[in-house]
């Protein structure tokens, strides 16, 4: 089969478009013919050597959508989708024509989504669901502030929150791109600057949940936005790994702080999250993100360069 593979860390130029052996199924796995696979910033970081646990040589790629071509009879020919923090790192990933996964990783793709659209869901929506639903237990009628609302994860959080009947305050350096699903759902937008805390307090009196997809330089702001017993979810540490905050204010407010890391969920552990998302996409409560660029596998280096340069939408490789 054809695949992208890297043997050494570096820029997208280290990715080779080569022939490798097609994976073979065993009793506990299935083989998926990959139709489409998105490229995430974490894929670019993986190729550059950002993650210590990556084993080389490696086919990268976390998110995918495809067809089961070898496996249990009830799965043969089924359209499936998925993601994982192990695929592309410690097991070969999705930027190839075929992918071997454990049977527990199989999750049926929503019929409402094309393979392109389905391949752009995984990482962003899984970590969004993990933080909002599993950890913060966001409830109908609550108010959530999303720091980094214009990004992929922020957009997924916004959609999940609105589907659960919540009010969304979007916070970012720039407003979400017009026409994106998240832009149409945000109830109020607040720029991220020195007046963010006061503006959000004037609008809400304090929010129930803050989902901070920026972290680091935004961490102290996030803590100041929640009302008593509010919940703060952190997934990143942009610009500042170590942070300071007033511990007395923190415990007086009885703030709950959660860290959420989708990379800790392997492709099998991520499958229940993908399955939980199906109803939202089938009903139309959730919508696929905008796909900004499409590439074929032979031009995979260009797909990685596009993500490294920054895009306003998702980047997808079609096999």
114 and 130: one domain?
A: no
CATH number at residue 92: 3.90.180.10
CATH number at residue 153: 3.40.50.720
114 and 128: one domain?
A: no
292 and 171: one domain?
A: no
Burial of residue 21, with CB atoms counted within 10 A of its CB: 0-12 exposed, 13-18 middle, 19 or more buried: exposed
18 and 110: one domain?
A: yes
The tens-digit pLDDT sequence of the chain (319 residues) is 999 999 999 999 999 999 999 999 999 999 999 999 999 999 999 999 999 999 999 999 999 999 999 999 999 999 999 999 999 999 999 999 999 999 999 999 999 999 999 999 999 999 999 999 999 999 999 999 999 999 999 999 999 999 999 999 999 988 777 778 888 899 999 999 999 999 999 999 999 999 999 999 999 999 999 999 999 999 999 999 999 999 999 999 999 999 999 999 999 999 999 999 999 999 999 999 999 999 999 999 999 999 999 988 999 999 9
**109: in domain:** yes
**275: in domain:** no
131 and 245: one domain?
A: yes
110 and 135: one domain?
A: no
192 and 307: one domain?
A: no
**160: in domain:** yes
> Alpha-carbon distance 70 to 72, whole Å?
7
Structural domain boundaries enclosing 183: 124-261
57 and 133: one domain?
A: no
What pLDDT is recorded for position 176?
75
Q: How many distinct structural domains can be found in the chain?
A: 2
What pLDDT is recorded for position 181?
84
99 and 130: one domain?
A: no
192 and 132: one domain?
A: yes
Give the DSSP per-residue string, the chain: -EEEEBSS-SSGGG-EEEE-PPP---TTEEEEEEEEEEE-HHHHHHHHT--TT--SSB-----EEEEEEES-TTTTT-EEEE--SSBTTTB--SSBSEEEEEGGG--BPPTTS-HHHHHTTHHHHHHHHIIIIIIS---TT-EEEEETTTSHHHHHHHHHHHHTT-EEEEEESSPPPTTSHHHHH-SEEEESSTTHHHHHHHHHSSEEEEEESSBGGGHHHHHHHEEEEEEEEE--BTT-SS----HHHHHHTT-EEEE--GGGS-HHHHHHHHHHHHHHHHHTSS-PPPEEEEEEGGGHHHHHHHHHH--SSEEEEE-
**282: in domain:** no
């Amino acid at each position: 089969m054809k695949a992208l593979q890297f043997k050494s860390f570096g820029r997208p130029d280290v990715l080779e478009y080569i022939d490798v052996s097609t994976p073979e199924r065993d009793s506990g796995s299935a083989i998926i013919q990959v139709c489409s696979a998105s490229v995430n910033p974490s894929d670019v970081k993986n190729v550059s050597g950002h993650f210590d646990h990556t084993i080389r040589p490696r086919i990268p790629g976390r998110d995918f959508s495809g067809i089961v071509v070898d496996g249990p009879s009830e799965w043969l020919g089924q359209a499936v989708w998925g993601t994982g923090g192990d695929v592309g790192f410690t097991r070969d990933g999705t930027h190839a024509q075929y992918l071997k996964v454990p049977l527990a990783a199989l999750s049926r793709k929503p019929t409402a989504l094309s393979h392109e659209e389905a391949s752009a869901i995984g990482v962003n929506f899984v970590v969004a669901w993990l933080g909002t639903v599993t950890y913060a237990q966001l409830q109908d009628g609550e108010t959530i502030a999303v720091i980094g609302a214009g990004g992929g994860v922020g957009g997924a959080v916004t959609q999940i929150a609105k589907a659960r009947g919540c009010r969304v305050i979007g916070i970012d350096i720039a407003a979400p791109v017009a026409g994106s699903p998240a832009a149409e759902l945000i109830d109020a937008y607040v720029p991220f600057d020195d007046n963010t805390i006061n503006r959000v307090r004037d609008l809400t009196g304090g929010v129930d949940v803050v989902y901070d997809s920026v972290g680091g330089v935004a961490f102290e702001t996030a803590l100041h936005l929640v009302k008593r017993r509010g919940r703060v979810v952190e997934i990143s540490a942009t610009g500042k790994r170590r942070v300071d905050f007033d511990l007395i204010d923190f415990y007086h407010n009885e703030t709950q702080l959660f860290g959420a890391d989708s990379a800790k969920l392997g492709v099998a552990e991520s499958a229940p999250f993908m399955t939980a998302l199906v109803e939202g996409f089938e009903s139309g409560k959730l919508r696929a993100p905008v796909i900004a660029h499409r590439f074929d596998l032979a031009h995979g280096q260009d797909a990685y360069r596009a993500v490294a340069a920054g895009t306003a939408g998702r980047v997808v490789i079609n096999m």
